[in-house]
């Protein structure tokens, strides 16, 4: 999800790279697509798979991705990365937040790896726009706090939208354990999914507006 703007796997030794065009590259949540970057020795096999399964990008989607998505990618990513750095640092200092996972933070266990690999075409650190954070709390109280946090944002937020996608012009938030990655029983904890975890995909809004919504939601669950 870093896109080639933030990270280029071929430069780090990868032989084949699969990119989603649906998310950050398109950037507006309107079209679907994907690309495979591979050596010439694999092209014939890839064409055979494409012929048999029909996995091609719709012409209109290809047009929108090329004309609107790629042409605005650098501007959008610069804006979203800058906002993500600010929001992640802010979240890390909130008492209602137990942990923040974002490669742009020095507290991230692989921050040094991100520093080496995640750079834009000007050599600047580009740790992406995805933030994963966990609310503070214990036991059943934690599940209730998480539900109240999401309910507040769903009904009272100004710019943060409760939705399961990412990489769009608007900031989206979801609770993976309850939404995209929900499973039954003890499977969630076994898979490392916490009921308190939130996935925040930063958009193009003013960072202060995003912080306003998050601050209001955190204060709401702290009452």
Extract the tokens encoding 33.
């697509």
192 has pLDDT over 90: no
Instruction: State residue 182's pLDDT score.
Output: 72
Instruction: State residue 54's pLDDT score.
Output: 85
What is the mean predicted confidence (pLDDT) over 152-166? 94
Q: What is the pLDDT of residues 61-94, one digit of tens each?
A: 999 999 999 999 999 999 999 999 999 999 999 9
What confidence tier does 183 reach under pLDDT thresholds 50, 70, 90?
low
What is the mean predicted confidence (pLDDT) over 170-179? 89
What is the mean predicted confidence (pLDDT) over 96-111? 97
CATH code of 3-222, in short, is 3.90.1150.10
Extract the tokens encoding 223.
């009452």
Q: Where are the domains of the chain?
A: 3-222
Residue 165 phi/psi, 5-degree rounding, is -95, -170
Helices and strands (H and E) in the chain: how many: 8, 7
117-135 as b/e: b if 16+ CB within 10 A = bbbbeeeebbbbbbbebbb
Residue 16 or residue 178, greater confidence:
16
Instruction: State residue 191's pLDDT score.
Output: 65
Residue among 51, 29, 91 nearest 215 (CA)? 91
% of the chain beyond a pLDDT of 90: 79
Give the integer Cα–Cα distance in Å for 126 and 85: 10
């Amino acid at each position: 999800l870093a896109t080639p703007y933030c990270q280029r796997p071929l430069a780090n030794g990868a032989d084949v790279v699969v990119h989603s065009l649906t998310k950050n590259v398109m950037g507006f949540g309107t079209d679907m697509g994907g690309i495979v970057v591979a050596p010439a020795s694999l092209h014939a096999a890839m064409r055979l798979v494409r012929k048999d399964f029909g996995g091609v990008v719709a012409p209109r989607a290809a047009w929108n991705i090329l004309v609107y998505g790629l042409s605005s990618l650098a501007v959008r990513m610069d804006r979203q990365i800058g906002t993500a750095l600010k929001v992640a640092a802010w979240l890390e200092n909130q008492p209602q937040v137990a942990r923040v996972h974002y490669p742009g933070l020095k507290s991230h266990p692989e921050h040094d790896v991100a520093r080496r690999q995640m750079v834009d075409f000007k050599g600047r650190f580009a740790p992406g726009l995805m933030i994963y954070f966990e609310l503070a709390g214990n036991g059943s109280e934690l599940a209730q706090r998480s539900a109240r946090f999401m309910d507040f944002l769903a009904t009272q937020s100004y710019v943060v939208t409760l939705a399961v996608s990412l990489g769009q012009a608007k900031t989206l938030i979801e609770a993976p354990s309850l939404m995209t990655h929900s499973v039954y029983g003890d499977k969630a904890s076994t898979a490392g999914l916490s009921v308190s975890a939130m996935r925040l995909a930063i958009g193009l809004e003013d960072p202060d507006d995003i912080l306003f919504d998050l601050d209001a939601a955190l204060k709401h669950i702290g009452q």
